[in-house]
Chain A
């Protein structure tokens, strides 16, 4: 039979973002793939060369819009490395709580998009309903539901509001029961298992060689997590473990393992938040005013030429890194070069390679199970 190239074009409901996947098929089997990115390239790296360090934070929110808080935190750590700023401990705890809340919301968004791809439309409504809980919490904390501009160099913008801790604890405790409900729905569902098990095998060493990190690698059986290996913030003071999954085959992790590892990650994030809110220095119901030294220290605004800042941060989809060189316009107020490493940018070609040998119907399963977000891919 003749082979043909099919374009899953930039507008497609199952690609989870704006990118083209061209697949060469022989009947139903995929024999080759070609990924094209760049449809949402906004030139953030170039724009940031003419912005102050404080003005860059809202741009970093919009890199991966689903997981904005983790990207803003990732940038802020790099900027603090560059400007040599101190951060008070309460601010580190608040950053941890906000990042883990964002991780929960992002994983729910992933599941809410992945479920309908596999066929479970119920998941879309359930996940959106549960994600509303975390979006409300993030709205209280950051001021809006998706793009907060919340962390600042040297701390955070505002302290946690009064009553926020109680609402958050109630919602997380409810959510822990909800995770069980998701597992009851999915883990014995025949359709779910048939579509996800045995599909999209990836080995750990291949993934690491290709530059994939984060939950995708932890699904293959090794507990590598940036928060554990290159620790930052107060992750060593909070009681948690990296979520790791046992692959079921010598061929590596399949889509079902990647799904399981994210469910476990949601559990670990919930645990982390409950622990952190109890251990936060200064109490969980004291609302320090904006700019108080408990939550923000004055940081230098200029970076001399030759200074560099680097941050390696565990974002929702992998290890995101920022590399900033100081000494730009405005006598050092702007960075000279801001380079963003997006985990998804490296994973997408790897995902395209993984699909070879499977059927067309497996494309949404494989693609969705890696949790692509093209906003961070194209920057």
Chain B
């Protein structure tokens, strides 16, 4: 309880996951490796480079065979100047947690040294590179993990990556009446008022300074 999960446990869990993944998915463009953070976090994690065609299969494998029960973060990135096969990237961060329903009036206090197998907590990072274009599409994992639901909504809302098969996609952080295809975190949208030498509540520019001559907002 006070003792933490050790590096050996974590490393062995990560290695076995990678071995199983390699065995199942070798040769379909999916690579899995054990990576280490620099410095602060001592535990290794599993990084998987997947392809959009095989993503659903990998996701189901992770959930049911590797017991990855926690979908934590979905991140989309726009690379307008990137290579042709990596114009967009979706990064999923998942975790495996030894959590299960307990009987009433009891609790499960895991003792770190007694954890084994798929009970050892582990982090997973899945990176999917999508081609350059205007319609990046990735299959949705909404049916596999409930936690992916609002994460995918946010990624579509801010970055513009379409999740195929996602029911009830709607704007979650931007206003509901934002224009179609307006996804602010794409690189062609710049910050307003950034670097201007003027009052920020002056939308018509009456208080403009000479230094800002010729600039449009």
Give residues in A with beta carbon < 8 Å to B.
Answer: 37-38, 41, 43, 45-47, 50, 77, 80-82, 84-87, 203-213, 217, 220-224, 228-233, 235-236, 239-242, 244-250, 252, 309-312, 319, 321, 323, 325, 336-337, 339, 341, 345-346, 349-350, 378-379
- Closest approach, in angstroms, between the C-beta of A203 and any C-beta of chain B? 5
Partner of B3, one of A84, A236, A247, A350: A236
Q: Contact at A87–B185, with CB atoms within 8 Å?
A: no
B32 is an interface residue with CB less than 8 A from chain A: no
Q: Could you tell me the distance in whole angstroms from the C-beta of A233 to the nearest C-beta in chain B? A: 7
Provide the residues of chain B in CB contact with A378, threshold 8 Å: 173
With the chains together, A241 CA to B3 CA distance in Å? Answer: 9
Q: Assess the B150–A346 pair: CB atoms within 8 A.
A: yes
Q: Are B151 and A246 in contact (CB under 8 A)?
A: no
Knowing A221-B108, A222-B98, A223-B109, the reply to whether A81 touches B39 (Cβ < 8 A) is: yes
A223 engages B121 (CB within 8 Å): no
Name 16 A/B residue pairs within 8 A (Cβ), A-sorted: A38-B173, A46-B189, A86-B39, A223-B1, A223-B107, A228-B5, A229-B121, A232-B42, A239-B2, A246-B104, A246-B105, A248-B104, A321-B72, A341-B73, A346-B151, A349-B149
Q: Are B38 and A205 in contact (CB under 8 A)?
A: no
Interface residues on B, range: 35 or more
CB 8 Å contact bits of B23-44 with A (1 = contact, 0 = none):
0000000000000011111110
Known: A205-B101, A312-B41. A223 touches B108 (CB 8 A): yes
Q: Known contacts A222-B110, A345-B150: does B105 contact A248 (CB below 8 Å)? A: yes
Quote the shortest CB–CB distance from A212 to chain B (angstroms). Answer: 8
**Chain A residues whose C-beta falls within 8 Å of the C-beta of B39 in the assembled complex:** 80-81, 84-87
Top 10 A-B residue pairs of the complex, sorted by shortest distance between their CB atoms: A211-B147, A221-B102, A229-B121, A341-B73, A339-B75, A221-B107, A84-B38, A231-B4, A210-B146, A38-B173
* B75–A323 CB distance below 8 A: yes
Asked if B73 and A43 make an inter-chain contact with CB atoms under 8 angstroms apart, the answer reads no
In chain A, what residue has the closest Cβ to B82? A305
Contact call A205/B99, Cβ cutoff below 8 A: yes
**Complex formed: what's the CA distance from A46 to B187 in Å?**
9
Q: Which residues of B contact A80 (CB under 8 A)?
A: 38-40
Q: How far is the CB of B122 from chain A (nearest CB, A)?
A: 9
Tell me, yes or no, whether B11 is within 8 Å of chain A by CB: no
Chain A residues with CB below 8 A from B107, complex form: 221-223, 244-247
Interface residues of B in 1-17 (CB under 8 A from A): 1-5
Please measure, in the bound complex, the distance between the C-alpha atom of A220 and the C-alpha atom of B105, giving whole angstroms.
10
Cβ-defined contact, B37 with A310, below 8 A: yes
A-chain residues with CB within 8 Å of residue B214 when the two chains form the complex: none
**B173 to chain A: which residues have CB within 8 Å?**
37-38, 41, 378-379
Whether B49 sits at the interface, judged by CB under 8 Å, is: no
Interface residues of B (CB under 8 A from A): 1-5, 37-43, 45, 69-73, 75, 77, 91, 93, 95, 97-110, 112, 121, 123, 125, 145-151, 154, 158, 171-175, 184-185, 189, 191, 194
17 more CB-based (< 8 A) A-B contacts, given A220-B102, A319-B72, A350-B146: A38-B171, A38-B173, A38-B174, A46-B185, A46-B189, A81-B40, A82-B38, A205-B101, A208-B97, A222-B99, A223-B1, A224-B97, A240-B2, A244-B107, A246-B106, A249-B104, A250-B104
Across the interface, B147 reaches (CB within 8 A) one of A209, A217, A220, A310, namely: A209
Instruction: Point out the residues of chain B lying under 8 angstroms from A222, CB to CB.
Output: 98-100, 102, 107-108, 110
Question: For the complex, what is the distance from the CA of A39 to the CA of B99, rounded to whole Å?
Answer: 33
Cross-chain contact of B71 among A205, A211, A228, A310 (Cβ < 8 A): A211
Bound Cα distance A309, B35 (Å): 12
B74 to chain A, nearest CB (A): 9
- Taking a contact as CB atoms under 8 Å apart, the answer to whether A312 and B123 are in contact is yes
User: Most chain-A CB neighbours within 10 Å: which of B37, B38, B185?
Assistant: B37
Decide if A341 touches B72 in the complex (CB within 8 Å): yes
A157 to B43 Cα, complex, angstroms: 27
Contact B146 A211 (CB under 8 A): yes
By the criterion CB–CB under 8 Å, are A210 and B147 in contact?
A: yes
| Inter-chain contact A45/B185, CB cutoff 8 Å | yes
| A77–chain B nearest beta-carbon distance, Å | 5
Shortest Cβ distance from residue B40 to the other chain A in the assembled complex, whole angstroms: 5
Q: In the complex, what residues of B have CB within 8 A of residue A310's CB?
A: 37, 45, 93, 125
* A257 to B185 alpha-carbon distance, docked (Å): 40
Closest to A206 in B: B146
B69 close to A205 (CB less than 8 A)? yes
CA distance A209 to B98 in the complex (A): 12
A247 contact set on B, CB distance < 8 A: 102, 104-105, 107
Contact between B121 and A211, CB atoms less than 8 A apart: no
- B101–A203 contact, CB under 8 A? yes
User: Is the Cβ of A209 less than 8 Å from the Cβ of B104?
Assistant: no
Residue numbers in A under 8 Å from B185 (CB-CB): 45-46, 337
Which residues of B are found within 8 Å of A235, using beta-carbon distances?
4
B70 neighbours in A (Cβ, 8 Å)? 208-209, 211, 213
Nearest residue in A to B36 (C-beta to C-beta)? A81
- Cβ-neighbour of A208 out of B99, B109, B123, B125 (below 8 A): B99
CB-CB < 8 A to B75: which residues of A?
323, 337, 339
**Cβ of A323 and Cβ of B174 under 8 Å apart?**
no
**Contacts of B184 on A, CB cut-off 8 Å?**
43, 46
Q: Which residues of B contact A205 (CB under 8 A)?
A: 69, 99-101
A346, B174: Cβ atoms closer than 8 Å: no
